[in-house]
Amino acid sequence: MRAVINVVLVLLSLVFAYWLYSSIREPIAFKAEKEKRRDAVVDVLKKLQVAQDLYRTITGKYAGNFDTLSYVLKNGQVENVKLEADPTDPTNQDKFIRSVSYRPALDSLYSLLGGPVNVDSLRYVPYGEGKTFDIAADTLRYQGTLVQVVQVGTRFKDFMGEYANPRFKKYDAFYDPDKPLKFGDMNAPNTNGNW
């Protein structure tokens, strides 16, 4: 009888040890995975911010879809204007020589991002299993002026995989799988990110 009680106690202690281990491991794993996936998405969103700014430099407005953004960045030219003082003007006051040159948009994007980037792959959400970012652009009247607005983003549930369940909110009070991770605003001329 004593041996049976000892075996039952050992089994109970093993079950409690496993339960304690898993209750500690899950929040740590959730936090690490959330940070890793969020950082990857923010990195792509920052590249998209730069790409949208470059697109706006070329066209005067933001891209409302990824096909247009990709096409213009692959085939567009960025105007470089250089103003130099006129050497024939001894007073060096109001006379300038304006020279204009053009550079491929992809070269400018390469310089701005510090390396090569595949503009076609920017549309895909990291860890999103093929999901694409939501993108919108428009013109609106803001404080009496027509302005260009853009918004690009995705929701946490699109890239959190197994952690997209609202039950993980118990480990992070601010976690909401339906919360968007984005830059820009369709109601104001703002291209800041919410990260």
Lookup: tokens for 42: 């923010």
Domain ranges of the chain: 32-74+118-184
pLDDT digits (tens, 9 = 90+) for 168-190: 888 888 889 999 999 999 988 88
Residue 94: the pLDDT is 67
2 pLDDT band (50/70/90 cuts)? confident
pLDDT digits (tens, 9 = 90+) for 64-75: 999 999 999 999
Strand order in the sheet with 134-142: 134-142, 145-155, 180-184
- Provide the percentage of residues in the chain whose pLDDT is more than 70: 94
93 pLDDT band (50/70/90 cuts)? low
- Provide the percentage of residues in the chain whose pLDDT is more than 90: 43
pTM for the complete prediction? Answer: 0.79
- Span 5-15, average pLDDT: 81
**HSE (side-chain half, CA atoms, 13 Å) at 157:** 8
